[in-house]
């Protein structure tokens, strides 16, 4: 496993996540299928999303927020599988953020055409906790900049098994996915699966 310091508060662990986590994530998308949510402005997102854990991130005409129940079914989101939570906690600790206890895992399913525009993850109260992002399947060109829009950015590939942690000075860094690299993955086909683990409420 290679650990790369991408920038202040940004650490990339190459090929850290293994099959146990992938299988757990596949069970989550089976139980609660990803769907293309609507932005507050009324556009359909190109990434299909679902969640696991006590809270899940949603967007619709009423805005972005965390909710305990899937709006499609009224049921709680699937529980966060232990191997997923453990990986997130261990990666956060290895990146300098001990005690990370994720409350939400947003599951993003990309196809070849999907992208995610530059944004900040700012719907969480707890800004001391990092964001932990795990990628499987097709590679993505990921871009991350500073805490204001339009500054210098850097881009790199997120490949199968990669775990990216951003927090501290990078907690509110603008980031997004420029594009998915074409290909075919043995388990995911022409898709990319990304898991982002978040602490929503302040832990202490
Ligand atoms: O798919 C990715 O690598 C990034 C996902 C992301 O930024 C998000 O879900 O907020
Ligand atoms: Fe994000």
Amino acid 204: pLDDT:
58
Cα–ligand 1 centroid distance for 117 (angstroms): 9
Amino acid 150: pLDDT:
87
Ligand 1 pocket, residue 95 CB under 6 Å: no
φ, ψ of residue 5 in degrees (nearest 5): -85, 105
| 182 exposure class (CB count in 10 Å sphere: 0-12, 13-18, 19+) | exposed
Q: How far apart are CA 96 and CA 74, in angstroms?
A: 37
Amino acid 203: pLDDT:
74
Quick check: 77 and 52 in contact, CB under 8 A? yes
Cα–ligand 1 centroid distance for 203 (angstroms): 22
Match domain 2-198 to its CATH number in 2.60.120.590, 3.30.540.10, 2.40.37.10, 2.40.50.100.
Answer: 2.60.120.590
List of residues 6+ apart from 40 with CB closer than 8 A: 59, 60, 61, 62, 63, 64
Amino acid 132: pLDDT:
98
Amino acid 161: pLDDT:
98
If one residue of 177, 188, 200 were mutated to test the ligand 1 pocket, choosing by the most ligand atoms within 8 A of its CB, it would be: 177
User: Mutual orientation of helices 19-31 and 82-94 as an angle, nearest 10°?
Assistant: 130
Characterize the bridge pairing of strands 44-52 and 175-180. unpaired
**ipTM entry:** 0.99
Amino acid 103: pLDDT:
98
Amino acid 1: pLDDT:
77
Domain ranges in the chain?
2-198
Q: pLDDT 10s per residue in the chain (204 long)?
A: 799 999 999 999 999 999 999 999 999 999 999 999 999 999 999 999 999 999 999 999 999 999 999 999 999 999 999 999 999 999 999 999 999 999 999 999 999 999 999 999 999 999 999 999 999 999 999 999 999 998 999 999 999 999 999 999 999 999 999 999 999 999 999 999 999 999 999 975
């Amino acid at each position: 496993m290679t650990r790369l310091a991408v920038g202040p508060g940004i650490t990339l662990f190459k090929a850290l996540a293994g099959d146990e986590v992938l299988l757990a994530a596949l069970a989550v998308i089976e139980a609660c299928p990803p769907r293309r949510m609507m932005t507050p402005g009324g556009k359909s997102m190109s990434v299909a999303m679902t969640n696991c854990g006590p809270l899940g991130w949603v967007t619709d005409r009423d805005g972005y927020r965390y909710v305990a129940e899937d709006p499609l079914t009224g049921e709680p989101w699937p529980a966060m599988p232990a191997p997923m939570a453990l990986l997130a906690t261990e990666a956060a600790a290895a990146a300098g953020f001990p005690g990370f206890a994720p409350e939400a895992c947003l599951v993003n399913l990309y196809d070849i055409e999907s992208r995610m525009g530059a944004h900040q993850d700012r719907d969480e109260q707890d800004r001391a906790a990092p964001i932990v992002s795990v990628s499987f399947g097709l590679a993505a060109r990921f871009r991350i900049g500073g805490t204001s829009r339009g500054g210098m950015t850097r881009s790199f590939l997120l490949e199968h098994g990669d775990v990216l942690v951003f927090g501290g000075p990078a907690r509110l860094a603008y980031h997004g996915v420029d594009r998915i690299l074409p290909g075919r993955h043995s388990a995911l086909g022409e898709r990319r699966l990304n898991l982002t683990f978040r602490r929503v409420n302040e832990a202490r």
